[in-house]
């Protein structure tokens, strides 16, 4: 829509039209046109800045205000596209740990599929692999090992969680939430 408005304005303000408008003293028409275009764009600006796709900001606000009051440590896992939320721009609480899907590019391995793509391809299977520690698909490390995991469990997704805890909260979008039921 803005392309058409810009094209229209460029035609209105072309040299031929301006010469004719100045002679016919239609400067008032230009002012009316500019005011009407401005008035048409104000509701769109308000909608897109206040309401459209507001959920990520509301989620971060909830985490920062409501969950911050809890006494126990909170771990929130975001199952969404990379950088879909403002993340640490809203949450500055050492009692709350946040994690999200890994979307690091692997230039050395062109066949590598990052966690975000794996999650969106098969959401239910990804969640099962990520959070199931009692299956044969995950390995438990002992305190005696030299790998430095200190009794943590590593799932197929390569995220390391303490074996006694899972994320206290999981955040995802509506379309993938519907696909997470078995």
Residue-wise pLDDT tens digits, 95-124: 888 888 888 888 888 888 888 899 999 988
Is the Cβ–Cβ distance between 72 and 47 less than 8 Å? no
pTM for the complete prediction? Answer: 0.60
For residue 1, pLDDT over 80 is answered with: no
**DSSP sequence for 128-159:** HHHH--SSTTSEEPPTTSSSS-SSEEE-TT--
């Amino acid at each position: 829509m803005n392309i058409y408005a810009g094209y229209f304005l460029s035609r209105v303000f072309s040299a031929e039209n301006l010469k004719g408008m100045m002679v016919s003293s239609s400067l008032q028409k230009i002012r009316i046109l500019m005011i009407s275009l401005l008035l048409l764009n104000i509701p769109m600006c308000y909608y897109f800045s206040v309401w459209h796709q507001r959920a990520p900001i509301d989620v971060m606000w909830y985490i920062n205000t409501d969950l911050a009051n809890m006494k126990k440590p909170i771990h929130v896992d975001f199952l969404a596209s990379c950088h879909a939320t403002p993340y640490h721009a809203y949450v500055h609480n050492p009692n709350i740990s946040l994690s999200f899907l890994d979307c690091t590019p692997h230039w050395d391995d062109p066949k590598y599929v990052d966690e975000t793509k794996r999650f969106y391809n098969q959401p239910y299977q990804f969640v099962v692999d990520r959070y199931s520690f009692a299956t044969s698909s995950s390995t438990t490390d002992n305190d005696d090992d030299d790998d430095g995991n200190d009794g943590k469990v590593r799932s197929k997704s390569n995220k390391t969680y303490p074996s006694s805890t899972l994320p206290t909260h999981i955040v995802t979008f509506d379309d993938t939430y519907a696909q997470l039921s078995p």
